[in-house]
Amino acid sequence: MLSIVYLVAIAAEATSGALAAGRRHMDVFGVCVIAFVTALGGGTLRDIVLGRFPIGWTQHPGHVYLVVGAGLLTVLVARHLHRVRRLFLVLDAMGLVAFSLIGTDVALRMGYGPAVVVMAGMMTGIFGGVLRDVLCNQVPIVFRQELYAVVSLAVCLLFLLLRALGVPPDLNTAISFAAGLSLRMLAIWRGWRLPTFSHRASWD
């Protein structure tokens, strides 16, 4: 299940990256780079930090073709994407949860402790979007809008908790995925977000 969701998710993330590049009036090469970084950047950074080599996508070149193709297709159909905005939000939420679970599983298989496992899951889930926004010269959306990083954190913690309680891996994955997706969609629907911090005082 996660394998299928992963492919759908990287295509959706590549689309969001291409749209962000379009808002910054980038050329086609820039679109492909931002699409790639958004879709595969989180997993790449995770593998580097954990010392997991070779990096995942280098062993699956089809994933590169998929994300670059999705980015180029977005250039052609961007004017029509507003019609499927709700579907796109669902796919993005599925990607967030799937990436978080995959990152968590990778770190667990490598024998890391809970803190590193959670950070690996969150890194996989959110850092593609962070890199996208940094390259597009804006404050990352995950730090200033609806619950996003918090959803990734909750998914990772729930997965570890159920694992500690002895829940079978497949059932654990299904429960964690469903819970994370539900939380993300509720956050969008209800406009849930963390309190913001604003400070304008001068130190001069």
Percent of the chain with pLDDT over 70: 98
Asked if residue 203 has pLDDT above 70, the reply is: no
CA dihedral of residues 163, 169, 171, 174 (deg, nearest 10): 90
- Name the pLDDT band for 80 (thresholds 50, 70, 90): confident
Report yes or no on 13 lying in a domain: yes
Q: Which of 12-16, 51-55, 84-88, 91-95 has the highest mean pLDDT?
A: 51-55
H-assigned helices in the chain: 2-23, 28-50, 61-77, 85-109, 114-135, 149-164, 169-190
Residues 142 and 102: their CA atoms lie apart, in Å, by: 19
Average pLDDT over residues 141-150: 84
Report yes or no on 197 lying in a domain: no
Residues 81 and 15: their CA atoms lie apart, in Å, by: 10
pTM to 2 decimal places: 0.91
- Name the pLDDT band for 204 (thresholds 50, 70, 90): low
Domain coverage including residue 109: 2-190
Average pLDDT over residues 69-97: 88
Report yes or no on 127 lying in a domain: yes
Average pLDDT over residues 47-55: 96
Asked if residue 40 has pLDDT above 90, the reply is: yes
Tally the domains of the chain: 1
Percent of the chain with pLDDT over 90: 73
Residues 85 and 150: their CA atoms lie apart, in Å, by: 22
Report yes or no on 146 lying in a domain: yes
Report yes or no on 22 lying in a domain: yes
Asked if residue 28 has pLDDT above 90, the reply is: yes
Report yes or no on 198 lying in a domain: no
Report yes or no on 83 lying in a domain: yes
| Residue 196 exposed, middle or buried by CB count within 10 Å (0-12, 13-18, 19+) | exposed
Report yes or no on 204 lying in a domain: no
